[in-house]
Amino acid sequence: MIRSYFIYPVQFLVLVLLQVLILNNIQFSGYINPFLYLAFILWLPFETPKWLLMSISFLTGLTIDVFSNTMGMHTSASVFLAFCRPFFVELFAPRDGYEVNQRPSIQDLGLGWFLKYSAILVLCHHLFLFYVEVFRFTDFWNTLARAFSSAAFTLICIVIAEYFRVNVESKR
């Protein structure tokens, strides 16, 4: 059991490096930028204490901010994501609750569950992030469109990464 936690620092490192070195340089039509690092927060086990979840998200956001010179933006949005996560985890719980060894993954809970869980949380994060970035409501619809299109793109990346993770873990 202890051993399985070692995977998280590795995931953190890989996802942050992927984000700052590769994904931050990808933009489609000047707007859409996937934020794959969110997968790290989404993948944390269900039994993570709330305070720890929030502190980890805070540090993750801060790391991304330091690298991309967007001080505070990703930090606040990630903390908001961590704040929302327990509610949606409760909301989407199966009738008998989660089992002890289940993790938030496609493998354990199915594609449908993972899609709705990550879609709603990614959307929460992106709406928060994009409105904090422009910091006013004059470009409301434009910002909304950007948040939605980026969220869709992030979601696709997360699902791909999820299948990749399942593959890597089943090989071990």
Does 47 participate in binding another protein (rule CB under 8 A)? no
Give burial (CB, 10 Å; 0-12/13-18/19+) of 7.
middle
CB of 12 to another protein, least distance (A): 15
Question: Shortest approach of another protein to residue 166 CB, angstroms?
Answer: 29
The correct pick among 8, 14, 18, 70 for binding another protein (CB under 8 A) is 70
Asked if 80 is part of the footprint of another protein (rule: CB under 8 A), the reply reads yes
Q: Cβ distance 19 to 36 under 8 Å?
A: yes
Binding mask 49-68 for another protein (x = CB under 8 A): -xx--xx--x--xx--xxxx
- Which residues inside 92-151 make contact with another protein, applying CB under 8 A? 132-134, 139, 142
Q: How many residues does the chain have?
A: 172
State the nearest-atom distance from the C-beta of 136 to another protein, in Å. 10
Angle at Cα 144 formed by Cα 138 and Cα 146, nearest 5°? Answer: 110
48 binds another protein (CB under 8 A): no
Q: Is 79 in the site for another protein (CB under 8 A)?
A: yes
